[in-house]
Structure 1
Amino acid sequence: MKNAMIWITMAAAAGLMACGHKVERRDPGPPVTVRVSEAAPRLMPAGETYTGSVKSRRAVTISTKMMGRVLRLHVEEGQSVRKGQPLVDVDAAEAQSAYEQAQAGLRAAEVAAANARRDLERFTSLRAEKAVTEHQLEQVKAGAAAAEAQKAQAEANLKMAGTLLSYGRITAPSDGIITRRWLDSGNLAYPGAPLLTLEDPSDLEIGVAVPEERSRLLAPDQAADVRVDGFPQPFRGTLTSVVPAADPMSRTSSVKVAVPPGTSLRPGQFARVRFDALAEKVLAVPEEALLTQGQMDGVFVVEQGLARLRWIQTGQREGGFVQVLSGLSAGERVIAPVPAGLQDGTPVEVAP
């Protein structure tokens, strides 16, 4: 009983001491001068990014005009070539035989024509001496004319045979880059069947498949932001065409974006495109107003002369601004930039 009374007495004394102690309140100090910016709707690029491939606007599909086995391919995919450079050798044994036959035919025709010209000269002299009749001379003239015609025909045959023989070696029709090899050596080539694809790297575009409902907002001469893998800087491209008919399988429309000259891109590179016409107005604040702690983003809002920390959900960032998805309303004033050491509840004074 005695011990219980002692504990009660000590507790009462402690209570009296606590009641008599004055709690010190920290002086918040003078207000911090800050600059503010209003959270406001801002036009920002659409969040969706569409993928496409860089390709040449001038692409040539190279094929052979004769049937034959591919003897050799002189180029590889990605290789640059010059006009007239050998690309493919096709077996032209039959064309070679036909060319040799045409050469022999021309030689025979030339001999026959030469003999006919000598006969004509001789018969012309004999006719002047009245040693032959006019009818005989006319027959010799006809024979000489026929020999000359046969010679001309033989020359045309040789020219055609030479053209066919030339099909055995295919050369580059222009400068460019080989972007695809359709066949390897040893395969049989058919007239019109593709062997190689040659593209001009000086005139490029990007082909993009865009969903049908979004493509309706696009039109030629609009601008787009383009990023290409392996290319250090994004660039601005211009839409050149929008095919209104959608692919029935994928429900997408084909959109083409011109690549400005001097970008050093190559056909086949992978590109990501964002279209200006798909931009939307979103609530945004300056990026310098953002306070990041771990994976959380916040801003300081000015409320009744105090800086109040507000955690927000952010979206895309563009041009020094960040999209606010939630946690903030339009018109609220946020502190930007955030002074060092600013704490929640700090008195602030907005700079004029």
Structure 2
Amino acid sequence: MPSGTAPPLASLVVNVSEAPSRQVWDGTVEAVHAAVLMAQTDARVLELPYDVNDVVPKGAVLVRFSNVEQKSATRAAQAQIASARADFVNAGANFKRLAAIYPQGYVSKAAYDQALAQRNAAKGVLDAAQAQWRETGQAEKYTVVRAPYAGVITRRYVQVGEAVAGPPFPQQLIAIASLRDLRVDVKVPQSVAEAIRRSGTAEVQFDGGRERLAASSVTVFPYADPATHTFSVRLELSGGAAGLYPGMTVRAVFAIGEAKQLLVPLGALVERGELQGVYVIEGDRVSLRQLRTGDVVGDRIQVLAGLDNGERIATDPAAAARWLIAQRHRAVR
């Protein structure tokens, strides 16, 4: 190639331009729906099908208790209902018989009233027995604890064989968090809280910045921590945020104004381990230049050091690398 002739590579001149000024803070992923399931009956743990970090579907059995006492109470309640029903039927039949002959004066008013009271009392006993049966049946249902929604087990408080207590002081059993709806909690300095509130936009970055999600809403809570003078900011994420799990640390990126920045396309970036660079074209020469980069802005990345305003870079780093190899081969010949 004649001296001074630019290489036949796709390129562009990078220039300082106005771009969103972004600030980054670490945030913690939280589950919107999370619960600690409590014991609702006195029993002994027989089975714990899942352990911490297991993902479970909605309705999965998380804890199974012994139910001998509950079954016995249910059978006793059923027997009480049968006895109470028999008494009610007899009292009802007696009252019906007296009610039929009472208008003819064959029975006294006192006998009639007594029969009516006996029927009503028997009905009350039957109603109480049925209520007791429903209560014991519910207690038996409490011996099986199911997942209220699909999620991940975050903590287990009991072991197989352990006796647990129900109300009035119920014991904690299992903590579960839904993976469907997630949010990020961020603590930001009070100096930027108002700018974040006005902007109302944010982006969550994880997996080394390779994965990015736009927050569906941004809430700056209207009070500061008096110890740290920071505001809590909540970033809501749309359902199904793949790759994010409760407890993870992520980067929360906020756009809080405009600033002059030097940006290069992400496609022009060369990454070798933790090093980043671009192929710089100077006349007929091409060289790989290491960069210190900042935040990703759309499909471009901020250059903090290593590149000057007005320099030309190759937009296809693979083609630039092949061109350099070909040049070296020619030089050897």
Which residue number corresponds to residue 179 of structure 1? 153
CA pair 286-65 structure 1, distance change in 2 beyond 3 A: closer
2:37 counterpart of 1:62: yes
Counterpart pick for 1:158 among 133, 141, 154: 133
The one-letter code matched in structure 1 to 2:147 is A
| Residues 224 and 273, structure 1, Cα contact 8 Å, conserved in 2 | no
1:190-339 alignment, distance < 5 Å: 190-191=166-167, 192-219=170-197, 222-229=200-207, 233-265=211-243, 267-268=245-246, 270-278=248-256, 281-284=259-262, 286=264, 314-316=292-294, 318=296, 319-320=299-300, 322-325=302-305, 333-337=310-314
| Residues 19 and 259, structure 2, Cα contact 8 Å, conserved in 1 | yes
Q: What is the SS of the residue equivalent to 2:238? A: coil
The one-letter code matched in structure 2 to 1:276 is F
Structure 1 residues 327-349: Cα deviation after superposition (integer angstroms, max 9, x where no partner) = 85xxx6434449978xxxxxxxx
Whole-Å separation in 1 of the counterparts to 2:231 and 2:186: 8
CA pair 159-283 structure 1, distance change in 2 beyond 3 A: closer
User: How far off is 1:325 after superposition?
Assistant: 4.3
| Residues 75 and 87, structure 1, Cα contact 8 Å, conserved in 2 | yes
CA pair 262-231 structure 1, distance change in 2 beyond 3 A: farther
Which residue number corresponds to residue 52 of structure 1? 28
User: How far off is 1:279 after superposition?
Assistant: 6.7
User: How far off is 1:151 after superposition?
Assistant: 1.5
Identity of aligned residues (%): 20
User: How far off is 1:82 after superposition?
Assistant: 4.0
RMSD of aligned C-alpha atoms?
4.4
- Specify the structure having the higher radius of gyration (Cα): 1
Whole-Å separation in 1 of the counterparts to 2:6 and 2:224: 57
Which residue number corresponds to residue 330 of structure 2? none
CA pair 128-178 structure 1, distance change in 2 beyond 3 A: same
User: How far off is 1:177 after superposition?
Assistant: 1.0
2:92 counterpart of 1:114: no
Q: What is the SS of the residue equivalent to 1:208? A: strand
If the length of structure 1 is used for normalisation, what is the TM-score?
A: 0.65
Whole-Å separation in 2 of the counterparts to 1:80 and 1:289: 40
Which residue number corresponds to residue 73 of structure 1? 48
Q: What is the SS of the residue equivalent to 1:260? A: coil
Q: What is the SS of the residue equivalent to 1:205? A: strand
| Residues 155 and 176, structure 2, Cα contact 8 Å, conserved in 1 | no
| Residues 49 and 63, structure 2, Cα contact 8 Å, conserved in 1 | yes
The one-letter code matched in structure 2 to 1:40 is V
| Residues 228 and 270, structure 1, Cα contact 8 Å, conserved in 2 | no
For these two proteins, the number of residue pairs brought into alignment is 302
1:339-350 alignment, distance < 5 Å: none
User: How far off is 1:41 after superposition?
Assistant: 4.6
Q: What is the SS of the residue equivalent to 1:277? A: strand
Q: What is the SS of the residue equivalent to 1:207? A: strand
| Residues 52 and 209, structure 1, Cα contact 8 Å, conserved in 2 | no
Structure 1 gaps, min length 5? 1-28, 342-352
CA pair 172-221 structure 1, distance change in 2 beyond 3 A: farther
| Residues 127 and 133, structure 1, Cα contact 8 Å, conserved in 2 | yes
If the length of structure 2 is used for normalisation, what is the TM-score?
A: 0.68
Whole-Å separation in 2 of the counterparts to 1:221 and 1:295: 31
Which residue number corresponds to residue 113 of structure 2? 138
The one-letter code matched in structure 2 to 1:178 is V
Structure 2 gaps, min length 5? 325-333
Whole-Å separation in 1 of the counterparts to 2:84 and 2:12: 99
Whole-Å separation in 2 of the counterparts to 1:251 and 1:196: 35
CA pair 71-248 structure 1, distance change in 2 beyond 3 A: farther
Whole-Å separation in 2 of the counterparts to 1:291 and 1:80: 38
| Residues 242 and 256, structure 1, Cα contact 8 Å, conserved in 2 | yes
The one-letter code matched in structure 1 to 2:138 is T
Whole-Å separation in 1 of the counterparts to 2:21 and 2:44: 54
The one-letter code matched in structure 1 to 2:164 is L
CA pair 204-134 structure 1, distance change in 2 beyond 3 A: same
Q: What is the SS of the residue equivalent to 1:198? A: strand
User: How far off is 1:183 after superposition?
Assistant: 1.2
